[in-house]
Copies of this chain bind each other. A is one copy, B any other.
Amino acid sequence: MQITKFTDLALRVLMYLTQEVSSSPVTINEVAQQFDVPRNHLIKVVTRLNKLNWVIATRGRCGGLKLGIAPENLRLGNVLRELESKNSLINCAEPPCVLSGQCNLKEILDHGLNSFYEEMNKYTLQNIVDQKTQQAVIKLHQRYSA
């Protein structure tokens, strides 16, 4: 059981942007290079985060990516619930289960997934990063910008 690569990258992007790097803007190219991911894949993730108003992207010479929400207001459970495309831990239809609709497994697992999201909502993006993260990002950004 793992979160999707899409959500994983989205969380990495959000963490990277949580640090205030005032010296120069953080670009798509920088993030793609730092996390060693294809630019096209990253653009899909950023587009989604932008639609959710969690990331703001500005164009132009001084353009770049910024958080669109205060990190203490973005709850981890909500991020996961929004980005995880599968909203159930099992799929009774794939492969089709002969007991589909005849057992309580899906209902119990759905309840478990909701409890998990509720538990994760006790943490915000601010709780995910700390001083170590901040220092790491500042160094990475300086090295990239140099």
Contact = CB atoms under 8 A, between A and B. Distances in A.
A3 interface: yes
For the complex formed by this chain, how many copies does it contain in all? Answer: 2
A135 B101 CA distance: 12
Interface residues of A, number: 50
A25 to B, nearest CB: 18
Contact of A112 (B34, B104, B116): B116
A111 B112 CA distance: 14
Interface stretch (A53-61, A66-74, A89-97): A89-97
Interface of chain A, helix or strand or loop or mixed? helix
Nearest to A130: B104
B1 A113 contact: yes
Interface of A: 1-4, 8, 11-12, 15-16, 34-37, 76, 80, 84, 86, 88-91, 95-99, 102-105, 108-109, 111-113, 115-116, 119-120, 123, 127-130, 132-133, 135-137, 140
16 contacts: A1-B1, A1-B4, A1-B84, A1-B89, A2-B86, A11-B105, A15-B105, A35-B98, A37-B95, A98-B140, A99-B133, A102-B132, A108-B120, A108-B128, A112-B119, A112-B120
